[in-house]
């Protein structure tokens, strides 16, 4: 038991995490590639045409996974940032900063695909629907986190300030979602329910889940890549970075 505990702390240092992340990245890319191939195949060739929405419904194969990921990454980011604040571990704060741009990208993709889904289904690019509006505010929260951490030059202060913002944000997300929902039911004007027919074909659900898995693997892979770059930037002055083969090697 104690052995395992020591192991975990060993990987909590940037120096030992850097090569570990490097070994893991190809695996996650591989899994992402396989899952994307399978998910797209199911989404385009196995899942039947929706009898109400025609072929347009196939957008949900990226819309729903992107929305899930955008919300999930925010929670993970707040978790790592909070851990970095509480335990003063540098690596977890770096992890939080590596996740933020990917999360923002997912929120953006969710909004973009939501608009492209809304145009044929609702006849308009944008509807002030509760989910779309909350997603937009989530996107703003990501931008705020990125802007704050990049405006502070001193890395440790950036970590801690970002952690507070992320924690305040993560407690606010449910409140914001609830308030937007409330606001939306008050103004019935444009409300069109996003809920699909209850009998969603099995293959559609399967395709969505496989695509969600692919988005997961992609996010992990790209976040690990970014955290490696952040480690190099932050630890540039240390000896272990100077000894790395990629620094020592060919010029």
Applying CB under 8 A, the residues found at the interface with another protein are 44-46, 48-49, 54-56, 58-59, 62-63, 66, 101-102, 105, 108-109, 112-113, 116-117, 119-120, 137, 140-141, 143-144, 147-148, 151-152, 156-157, 160-161, 164-165, 167-169, 171-172, 175-176, 178-180, 182-183, 186, 218, 221-222, 225-226, 228-229, 232-233, 236, 241-242, 244, 246-248, 251
Nearer to another protein, 156 or 196 (CB): 156
The one-character DSSP state at 53 is T
**CA angle, 141 as apex, 93 and 119 as ends, to 5°?**
135
How far is 13 from 184, CA to CA, in rounded Å?
46
Nearer to another protein, 7 or 49 (CB): 49
How far is 245 from 183, CA to CA, in rounded Å?
57
Q: How far apart are the first and last CA of the chain?
A: 45
Nearer to another protein, 1 or 153 (CB): 153
How far is 177 from 174, CA to CA, in rounded Å?
5
Q: In the complex, what is the shortest distance from the CB of residue 71 to another protein, in angstroms, rounded to a whole number? A: 15
Q: In the complex, what is the shortest distance from the CB of residue 156 to another protein, in angstroms, rounded to a whole number? A: 8
Nearer to another protein, 73 or 137 (CB): 137
Q: In the complex, what is the shortest distance from the CB of residue 125 to another protein, in angstroms, rounded to a whole number? A: 10
Nearer to another protein, 76 or 161 (CB): 161
Nearest Cα to Cα of residue 27 among 226, 230, 217: 217
Q: In the complex, what is the shortest distance from the CB of residue 195 to another protein, in angstroms, rounded to a whole number? A: 19
How far is 127 from 140, CA to CA, in rounded Å?
18
Burial-class residue 121 by CB neighbours within 10 Å (0-12, 13-18, 19+): middle
């Amino acid at each position: 038991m104690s052995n395992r505990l020591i192991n975990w702390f060993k990987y909590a240092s940037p120096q030992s995490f850097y090569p570990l992340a490097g070994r893991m990245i190809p695996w996650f890319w591989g899994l992402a590639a396989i899952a994307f191939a399978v998910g797209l195949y199911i989404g385009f060739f196995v899942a039947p045409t929706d009898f109400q929405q025609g072929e347009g419904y196939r957008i949900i194969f990226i819309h729903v996974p992107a929305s899930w990921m955008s919300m999930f990454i925010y929670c993970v980011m707040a978790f790592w940032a909070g851990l970095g604040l509480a335990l003063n571990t540098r690596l977890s704060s770096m992890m939080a900063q590596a996740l933020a741009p990917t999360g923002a990208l997912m929120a953006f993709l969710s909004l973009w695909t939501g608009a492209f889904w809304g145009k044929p289904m609702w006849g308009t690019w944008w509807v002030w629907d509760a989910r779309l509006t909350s997603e937009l505010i989530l996107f703003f929260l990501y931008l705020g986190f990125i802007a704050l951490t990049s405006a502070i030059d001193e890395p440790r202060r950036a970590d801690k300030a970002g952690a507070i913002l992320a924690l305040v944000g993560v407690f606010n997300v449910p409140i914001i979602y609830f308030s937007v929902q409330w606001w939306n039911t008050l103004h019935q004007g444009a409300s069109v329910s996003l809920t699909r027919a209850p009998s969603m074909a099995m293959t559609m659900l399967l395709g969505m889940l496989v695509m969600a898995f692919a988005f997961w693997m992609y996010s992990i892979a790209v976040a690990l890549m970014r955290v490696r770059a952040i480690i190099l930037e932050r630890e540039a002055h240390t000896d272990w970075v100077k000894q790395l083969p990629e620094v020592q090697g060919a010029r």
